[in-house]
Structure formats: structure tokens, C-alpha cells
Amino acid sequence: MSFADEARALDAADPLRSARDLFVLPEDVTYLDGNSLGALPRATAPRIADVVTGQWGTGLIRSWNDAHWIDLPQGVGAKIAPLIGARPNEVIACDSTSVNIYKLLCAALTLRPGRRVIVSEPGNFPTDIYMVQGLAALGLAEQRLARGNPIADFVDDDVAAVLLTHAHYKSGRLHDMAAVTAAVQARGALVIWDLSHSAGAVELDLDGVNADFAVGCGYKYLNGGPGAPAFLYVAARHQHAIANPLSGWMGHAAPFAFEDAYVPAPGITRMLSGTPPILGLAALECGVDTVAALGIPALAAKSRLLTDFFMRAIAGTCPSVECVSPAHPEPRGSQVSLRHPDAYAICRALIDRGVIGDFRDPDILRFGFTPAYVGFGDAWHAVELLAQVIEGRAYDRPEYRERAAVT
Ligand SMILES: Cc1ncc(COP(=O)(O)O)c(C=O)c1O
Ligand SMILES: Nc1c(O)cccc1C(=O)C[C@H](N)C(=O)O
């Protein structure tokens, strides 16, 4: 069977085929960048219009109570929880992923007094290691990058926590979360998982693997919109013992008592700092509801089929690109990354022709397969166009080599 016929057959058999209608997507675009910015759910614009004109415009400050704005971080967190294998009171939606990493690094350090090393991987998403470096500059931590495997071999009695991204942003490679968590904990340290590239697209079972802490982006597979609030997970067993270093009033036990002394709120609420961004949380809730309605098992199963089909089609059609994502579906996230020396120009040429992926330095072409709205026909269209652009050297134009501020 040709790849075109196979794509048609797979689309016909796809139980999530109609889910694309839950999103607003331009007709002339094949969107393979939901791992960077998820698409706009159809439910979001009317919800935001209501929050703005109804709840804000008419309800004014009364909406903190009447529209339950004050509970939105916990409410959205509780909806994210089942998508990542957590209980509702273990997750809260707040701040950015970077800020939440900082808070959890400090929490881990307070849980492991006498240990100050944070282990991460070289090549981890930069914000994760920069946050460790920020703490190190204050004299509060020491960074150790694990140059080799297994990571647990880099954990000794000085290590408070290991900070890892579950699905690597460049390659899409998944860590074995259960095995790494157990091995690190056996050496007395804690693990902070960054789920930015896995939440909403792959199966996760934080409670099942006895995870300690996790964070993740709201604007990728959760479709919360540009700069959406992130989420933060703290296993119930740690919640009473951790401190939030950004001890703002929203994490206080009684914010409206206006007391001078900080008293942390019980449970996950102590991880809040300032006033929740209601517009962003409302949009994130629409994205999370959309994912939850489709169900992670169905999304994850389609993601594996999509990436498998794309990789086979690439191997059969574009021999000059090297695939750097894992060949086996088990350790592969919902993206496929390809290596080519002209990756940047190729990426620009593809975008010019309606196929939106992205580029990561120095030579990676990255394609995200958000199973909710990407079809097998889309995957095949991207492969055909990529082959055409490479074979005809259509990318070889000065305007495609000019670097934009955001890649
Ligand atoms: C693994 C990972 N962590 C964190 C972030 C970003 O964090 P923030 O939303 O704070 O910019 C990203 C992407 O931007 C990411 O890929
Ligand atoms: N957060 C981003 C942004 O503000 C602008 C452009 C891209 C992003 C991203 O999310 C990048 C993404 N985390 C990555 O894996 O490369």
C-alpha cells in the first residue's frame, strides 16, 4: 500500500477524527507545532468573552466570589490531575513553568536539609538548568549535570533532587519515569519531573510511580494559549512539609486576614504566590476540558500511530534526513525530530508553504503531532512537501536563512 493510501485508511479508522472540529485551525495550514503552542479550542473565545464582558465587565470585583475566580487555580489543577495520574488536591495551576520549577527546587532543598546538589541533564530544556543556576548564584544550591547514564549513578549523599524533563524537547525521547524515580529515591533524593512535552499527549501516572514533584506548561498539549499558566504537582505526602520560597499572600492560610506573619495554607494552595491570572486560567480550563473530553488513552494511542506512520513515511521518502527520535514507540513522545544541515531554511520554506513545524539549534527540524487535531493525511502531506522542498532545494533562498527572533 502507498503511504497516501495508508494515510487515508488510518484517517478513516481514527476514532478521534472529528476532534479536529473542537479547534479553530486555518484551512490552509498543517499545524505540527502544538508541542510549542497548542491550537485554539473552539470553546475558548466565547468563554473569554464571557469572562471579560460578563464576569469582569458586569460582575466586577464581585466575581472573585460569585464566579469563583478565587478557586480557579485549584479548580483547573484538579482538572489537570487525572490527565497526569494525580489526585485533584495534588495539582494547582499557577505561574509559569520556570517559576514553578524554582519553587519546587526550593521545596526539595527544604525536604533534604544537609544536601544541596541538584542533578540535571546536559541538554535539558534551558530554563530548567538556568533555574538551578539562579539558586546556585544565591549560594542555595549546587548544580551537577549527569554526563552519562544511568542518572541515578550521579546521585550521592549530597544530592537533594534530580530535575528532569520527561519528554526531551529536542528529540522527544521519554525517560522511564517509574525506573528513574525509584532509583533516585533509593539514594535518598527527590525527583522533579518537567512534563511540559508530555502532559496532554502521553500516558502519565505520577501517583503510580510514587513521584515527588512535577511541573508542566499549559500552552502546549493542554492548549491553554500563549503564556498560559503552568501547573505544579506535589505528592500529597510532601504537602504539609514543604515551604514555598515565593511566600506571597495567596499562599497564606488566611489571605484576607491581612496578618503580618506568613502562615502557609494547608495543602497544595501554599504553592500559590500572587493573584491568579483569571483570563489565562479560564482559557487554560477550556484547553484542559477539551483534552479531558477526548481522554488520554485515546490521544496517546493515536499519537503513537501518528509518529510511527510519519517516521516510516520519512524513511521511505526523504532519505537525506536523519530521524533523531526513538524508533520504538515506548520511549517516544508525541513529536518527531529530524536532522538536516539546512534545517532552519527548510523549516522556513515549509512554513511558507503552510506546514508549520519548528527548528531547534543547530540542525533539528521538529514536528509535533498533537493527536487531537493532527490527522494521518496531514502527516503524509508534511512528508511529501518536505521531500519536494529538499529535492528541489526550494529552501535555498537568502530569506529562509535569516533568523527570526523566535524560532
Ligand atoms: C521542558 C520545558 N520546560 C519549560 C518550558 C518553558 O517554561 P516557561 O513557560 O516558564 O517559559 C519549556 C518551553 O518553553 C519546555 O520545553
Ligand atoms: N514558550 C515559548 C515561547 O514563549 C515562544 C516560543 C516557543 C516557546 C516554547 O514553548 C518552546 C518550547 N518549550 C520548546 O520546546 O522549544
**How far, in Å, is the centroid of ligand 1 from the Cα of 195?**
9
Q: Assess contact for 305 and 10: CB atoms under 8 A.
A: yes
Q: Catalytic site residue 125?
A: yes
Q: How many CA atoms lie within 13 A of 145 on its CB side?
A: 12
Q: Assess contact for 246 and 232: CB atoms under 8 A.
A: no
Cα–Cα distance measured from residue 274 to residue 298, given in angstroms and rounded to the nearest whole number:
36
pLDDT band at 366 (very low <50, low <70, confident <90, very high): very high
- Mean pLDDT value of segment 281-302: 98
Cell numbers 478557586: residue: 71
Q: Name the residue ranges covered by the structural domains of the chain.
A: 3-31+295-401, 45-294
Q: Assess contact for 162 and 190: CB atoms under 8 A.
A: yes
**CB 404 near ligand 2, within 6 Å:** no
Q: Catalytic site residue 102?
A: no
Q: What's the confidence (pLDDT) of residue 111?
A: 97
Cell numbers 529552501: residue: 395
Q: Is the pLDDT of residue 163 over 90?
A: yes
- What would the grid cell of residue 249 be? 499572600
CATH 3.90.1150.10 fits 3-31+295-401, yes or no: yes
How buried is 237 (Cβ within 10 angstroms: 0-12 exposed, 13-18 middle, 19+ buried)? exposed
Pairing of strands 322-323, 230-234: unpaired
How do residues 195-252 score in pLDDT, each as one tens digit? Answer: 999 999 999 999 999 999 999 999 999 999 999 999 999 999 999 999 999 999 999 9
Pairing of strands 358-360, 364-368: antiparallel
**CB 406 near ligand 2, within 6 Å:** yes
Pocket lining for ligand 1, CB < 6 angstroms: 96-98, 125, 127-128, 165, 169, 194, 196-197, 217, 230
Cα–Cα distance measured from residue 206 to residue 80, given in angstroms and rounded to the nearest whole number:
12
Q: Is the pLDDT of residue 19 over 90?
A: yes
* Residue 96 identity (one-letter amino acid): S
Cα–Cα distance measured from residue 93 to residue 271, given in angstroms and rounded to the nearest whole number:
10
Catalytic residue, candidates 102, 125, 369, 395:
125
**How far, in Å, is the centroid of ligand 2 from the Cα of 36?**
5
What is the distance in angstroms between the CA of the first residue and the CA of the last residue of the chain?
A: 36
* Residue 277 identity (one-letter amino acid): P
Q: Catalytic site residue 219?
A: yes
Q: Catalytic site residue 194?
A: yes
Domain 45-294 falls in which CATH fold? Aspartate Aminotransferase; domain 2 (3.40.640)
Helices 72-80 & 278-294 angle (0-180, nearest 10): 20
Average pLDDT, rounded, for the chain = 97
Alpha helix stretches (DSSP H) within 353-393: 376-391
Q: What's the confidence (pLDDT) of residue 407?
A: 86
The pTM assigned to this predicted structure is 0.97
Residues facing 142 on adjacent strands: 117
